[in-house]
Amino acid sequence: MPIKMLTLEDLELEGKRVFLRVDINTPVHPETGKLIEQARLEEAAETIRDLSGSGVVVASHQGRVGRSDYTSLEAHSKALAAILGSPVKFVPDVFGPAALGEMGSLKAGEVMLLDNLRFTAEENMEYKPKEAEKTFLVSRMKEHIDACVLDAFSTAHRSSPTIVGFAGLVPTCAGRTVGRELRMLDRIVSVEKGPYVTVLGGAKVSDRLEAIDALIANNRADKVLLCGLVGLVFLKAAEKFRGELGIDGEQKHLLKARQLLDDDPDRFAMPIDVAIKVDGGRKEVDVKDILGQAQPMDIGAKTVERYERFIKGAGTVFMSGPPGAFEWEEFSYGTEHLLRAMASSLATTIISGGHLSSALRKYAIHDQIDHISTAGGALVQYLAGKRLPLIDALERAAEKWGGKESGTL
């Protein structure tokens, strides 16, 4: 069903101060702390360029509290300025006096970037829209802005204040990334065919587990190929892996994985071998032979071969989250080979998440994939047929601010 929402062309933004919620949450190298890629920054730049007649207050979250990628956005501001070829004023504050002061004096044509929104308690929580409007974050910021552009498609599944709080208070529309994603997905969904193979990897276990039931119910997971940390959770649930997972809510995740395996064992494929780090290098071992504290970092060659066969026989393949820690050359084998299998298959192919889109660029095969989305969990939820808070906010905004002329994406 077409989604009714406003675009940049539907609002009068010239000379106005615009709050632009993007998602430039970017993978950070675990050792050097440097930004690993800039796909989301490039997307954000497209909307910023199209707002050249406005004063633009760019805002994003980065990482999660307590994780190594929970960092300031200073490096992002430099990368963004380099992409835009024009200054981006970084303000190391979110809604304190420094940030509000800078917002208040921002002129048309200027771009500023606030610091990591998750440095504030409220942005780490989820709210109903009316409650979000009353948060300190939204109620203080709204005094300094004329309009809001929501372009954080990859955060569309989080009802945080800056995603759902402004639509009822100031004219709000979709940015270029949200528009493109929704148009592409609409097209993909109309041509996709079965069997539907879903490859679930990465480290965001709760996101993936939450979505599995809905993906299955929505006929988007005839076969689920498990890898990454998600794969280890299933292996442990099946008592095939005894090592430590060290993740939040481990027990709850194991119970869920066990229930899924008990209910429908044939739907899931688990790794049969993995790569571990030995003397700084890669060593492949069968899952049953993983000893002691060894932490699997990638799927092994036998698993890759088996998964490639499923991918070749698929009508549609959706991959979310990398199969291994591909940031390290010695653990990139699984990610590279499964992506290449998708690139050379005749199936409709969809790749989800910033990590995988940067891996595709690294292997120079991004033009052989039908849709590459920088969204991870949000895209999983979209394909699972769930309502996304950001899209709801845009629909509410179209009702409130759009009048008869509002567009349909």
Cα 35 to Cα 55: distance, rounded to the nearest angstrom: 26
Task: Report the residue number, 345 or 373, with the smaller CB distance to ligand 3PG.
Answer: 373
Question: What are the φ/ψ torsions at residue 31 (nearest 5 degrees)?
Answer: -100, -45
Q: Which of 38, 47, 77, 154 binds ligand 3PG (CB under 6 A)?
A: 154
Task: Report the residue number, 172 or 373, with the smaller CB distance to ligand 3PG.
Answer: 373
Stretch that binds ligand 3PG, among 120-128, 153-161, 277-285, 396-404 (CB under 6 A): 153-161
**Binding status of residue 201 toward ligand 3PG by CB under 6 A:** no
**Binding status of residue 158 toward ligand 3PG by CB under 6 A:** yes
What are the distances in angstroms from CA 201 to CA 28, 76, 205? 18, 26, 8
Q: How far does CA 74 lie from the centroid of its chain?
A: 20
Question: What are the φ/ψ torsions at residue 219 (nearest 5 degrees)?
Answer: 55, 35
Cα 142 to Cα 57: distance, rounded to the nearest angstrom: 12
Subset of residues 204 to 243 that bind ligand 3PG, contact rule: CB under 6 A: 204
| Nearest-approach distance from CB 311 to ligand 3PG, in angstroms | 23
What are the distances in angstroms from CA 113 to CA 146, 171, 183, 279, 282? 17, 21, 28, 43, 40
**Binding status of residue 26 toward ligand 3PG by CB under 6 A:** no
| Nearest-approach distance from CB 21 to ligand 3PG, in angstroms | 12
Stretch that binds ligand 3PG, among 152-160, 209-217, 232-240, 384-392 (CB under 6 A): 152-160
Q: Which of 64, 240, 302, 362 binds ligand 3PG (CB under 6 A)?
A: 64
| Nearest-approach distance from CB 26 to ligand 3PG, in angstroms | 9
Coil, strand, or helix at residue 370? Answer: coil
# residues near ligand 3PG by CB under 6 A: 9
Q: Which of 201, 202, 321, 376 binds ligand 3PG (CB under 6 A)?
A: 376
**Binding status of residue 377 toward ligand 3PG by CB under 6 A:** yes
Cα 273 to Cα 207: distance, rounded to the nearest angstrom: 24
CB 19, CB 55: distance < 8 Å: no
**Binding status of residue 23 toward ligand 3PG by CB under 6 A:** yes
Question: Any long-range contacts for 74-81 (C-beta under 8 Å, 24+ apart)?
Answer: 74/115, 75/34, 75/35, 76/24, 76/26, 76/35, 76/41, 76/113, 77/113, 79/35, 79/38, 79/41, 80/24, 80/41, 80/44, 80/45, 80/48, 80/111, 80/113
| Nearest-approach distance from CB 364 to ligand 3PG, in angstroms | 23
| Nearest-approach distance from CB 35 to ligand 3PG, in angstroms | 13
278 has which bridge partners? Answer: 281
Task: Report the residue number, 25 or 345, with the smaller CB distance to ligand 3PG.
Answer: 25
**Binding status of residue 358 toward ligand 3PG by CB under 6 A:** no
Task: Report the residue number, 94 or 274, with the smaller CB distance to ligand 3PG.
Answer: 94
Cα 297 to Cα 125: distance, rounded to the nearest angstrom: 31
Q: Which of 5, 10, 22, 25 binds ligand 3PG (CB under 6 A)?
A: 25
In 45-86 the beta strands, taken as DSSP E runs, fall at: 55-59
CB 327, CB 208: distance < 8 Å: no
Binding positions for ligand 3PG, rule: CB under 6 A: 23, 25, 64, 154-155, 158, 204, 376-377
